[in-house]
Amino acid sequence: MSEKEIILRYGFNPHQKPARIFAKNGTLPFTVLNGAPGYINMLDALNSWQLVKELKGVLKLPAAASFKHVSPAGTAVGTPLTPALKKAYFVDDMEETPLMAAYARSRGADRVSSYGDFVALSDMCDVATAKLIYREVSDGCIAPGFEKGALDILKAKKGGKYLMIQMDADYQPEETETREVFGVEFEQKRNNAVATADILKNVVTKKKEFPVDAVRDLVIATTAIKYTQSNTIGFAVDGQAIGIGAGQQSRIHCTRLAAEKADRWFLRQHPIILAIKWREGVSRADRNNAIDLYLQERLNKFEKETMKSAMDKVPPQLSYDEKRDWLKKLKGVSLSSDGMIPFRDTIDRAYESGVTYVVQPGGSIRDEDVIQACNDYGMVMAYSGLRLFHH
């Protein structure tokens, strides 16, 4: 492979051959250290790298992302893990570093969706993070570098085929970007808007103050949705995304999807779920699937058998009221929207999942209805004036 061009295994699908990536001018800004990249691998790598680089630049904390099909399943910065999260993320037996915690949080936001992810790390991959990546089902990792021990660990993954990409952390692309669709060239200025605390200056609700943690979480949610297929709503709390509703045609469906993911993230920390005894030899992926089934309202015969095969003893199903009582403890959640919120239904649903802080572009003909909904629930909302559609 030259530094100017890399031949890919295939395009979006195996029948789309040949496929390649290349630099129009100069050389590619990264080096493939191990493995053979595919087209989607590289889209995930380059989108996820931008996300973690921006988070690290704004928040000055190690950042990680777990990407699937060119959208983040989760993203986070390296805040310490609570005992409940360590158990819920299956990392209570592992060494924790800030970067490892960032990836554990990214992977743990939606562990079912993160299966077979592409990992992005803002900092040099350390041994603790490499050990976590090694034991998860993952297709590849992009980072500005890899410690020698981390490189050795990951080179042994997937029978020596695990994809590792070392990114030039100083690389800056040109201001104008192009793409081709059906033989037609598109050109636009690159989206170089960066989410900082400045997007929260225009507060439009009765309550005006964003706590420091909420500012951090709104930056995380907003940066995440910038690199998520639109329409998008993102929920974040405690330094990590906990629910991302991506690629929906209506904003309320984005909100419902993000909220449901946030609810499941929090329900995974319920004492009954943390206390589940697993049958010997059950993989983490099978545990994730079993928990996901356990949290469903209704199961068919096959799903029941699948759940039973993973658990030593299936606990009594949590009732609707038990779930709601637990979810009432989820508070201080931040929400970011990549486009204006057109109706108050987004706020009504978000409130049920603990949302207290909101940022959105504003500009709907029903802005006053949305502001009133936030005031009804005691939320703080700012208009960023910044739309972040991504396609």
Token code pair at residue 295: 């949290």
CA distance 38 to 6: 10
Write down the H helix ranges in the chain. 39-59, 83-88, 98-108, 127-135, 148-155, 212-226, 251-267, 271-274, 284-294, 301-310, 320-327, 345-351, 367-377
Q: Report the Cα 306 to chain-centroid distance in Å.
A: 27
Q: Which residues are catalytic?
A: 68-69, 231, 391
189 exposure class (CB count in 10 Å sphere: 0-12, 13-18, 19+): exposed
Amino acid at site 246: A
**Inter-residue contact 74 to 244 (CB < 8 Å):** yes
**What are the φ/ψ torsions at residue 375 (nearest 5 degrees)?**
-65, -35
CA distance 30 to 32: 7
CA distance 42 to 70: 9
CA distance 224 to 107: 14
Phi-psi map region of 377: left, alpha, beta (phi>0 left; psi -120 to 50 alpha): alpha
CA distance 52 to 66: 10
Query: For the chain, how far is it from start to end, CA to CA, in angstroms?
Result: 29
SS (H, E, C) 20-68: EEECCCCCCCEEEEECCCCHHHHHHHHHHHHHHHHHHHHHCCCEEEEEE
